Amino acid sequence: MEDEEYLAKAKERIISSLIKHKFLKSNRAIKAFEKVPREEFVLPQYRSNAYSDTPLPILESQTISACHMCIIMVEEDCLDPQPGDRTLEIGAGSGYHAALLAEMIAPEGCENPGHVWTVEIHKSLVEFARANLERAGYSDRVTVIHGDGSKGYPPEAPYDRIMVTAAAPDIPEPLKEQLKVGGRLVIPVGAPHLWQELTLVIKKRDGSLKAKKLGGVAFVPLRGKHGFK
């Protein structure tokens, strides 16, 4: 009980701070952040730090991104996921970011719910993400796939939204191909472990891509065929 009260207060505090610092802006993102229990997606030893605004270690030396970074990526001026969207995430990790997406593309009571497919290269993290998503009540809206997400996930393509939560040397060609016309893709592009540019890509009506740089970020590297070797 004490634990629950502590977490509820910590969550309230971080929400106020994220709003004050203009990370959380839209009602839809605020609602999604309020709904998802981040404490169910961190390792048990970090439970009390679930609402500290820092990345936290998960398995395989990977990390769950800081709260503000998770929000930057899903806000209206970035990925902007809509109810009903078919959404692909690369890098399931803990499953937390996929749950945030699920709240935005398939909120409770939504008549036309979308779906999230999230690809993870490490088997242990596939199991971690699946267990977390199931416990938190998202397994109907999120499917975790074991594989190399740098190749996308062709069986369910094309997608309205694609979000890559690992740093890539460039935008993988298969992801460009698997994006619908009018669709949005967000991906950190740059050097492994150091500094990358968060890049938003919009596929225009004629199929061409318009890229916009949104600022510097630091993500773990994307591995696999179109990632870092």
The residues binding ligand SAH (CB under 6 A) are 60, 62-65, 90-91, 93-94, 96-97, 119-122, 125, 148-150, 165-166, 220, 222-224, 227
How many residues does the structure list for the chain?
229
Which one is catalytic: 16, 52, 65, 150?
65
CB of 18 to ligand SAH, least distance (A): 16
| Cβ at position 14, least distance to ligand SAH in Å | 16
Per the annotation, the verdict on 65 as an active-site residue is yes
Q: Which is nearer to ligand SAH, 212 or 225 (CB)?
A: 225
51 vs 96, beta carbon nearer ligand SAH: 96
How many angstroms separate the CA atoms of 81 and 104, rounded? 6
Q: How far, in Å, CA of 131 to CA of 19, rounded?
A: 30
Contacts of 96 (CB under 8 A, 6+ apart): 36, 38, 41, 42, 64, 70, 132
C-beta of residue 226 within 8 angstroms of C-beta of residue 168: yes
- Minimum CB separation of residue 158 from ligand SAH in Å reads 19
CB of 211 to ligand SAH, least distance (A): 21
Q: How far is CA 137 from the centre of its chain?
A: 17
Whose Cβ is closer to ligand SAH: residue 52's or residue 63's?
63
Q: Pick the closest to residue 163 from 56, 84, 87, 99 (CA basis).
A: 87
Alpha carbons 93 and 85: distance in angstroms, whole number? 21
Nearer to ligand SAH, 200 or 222 (CB): 222
- The catalytic residues are 65
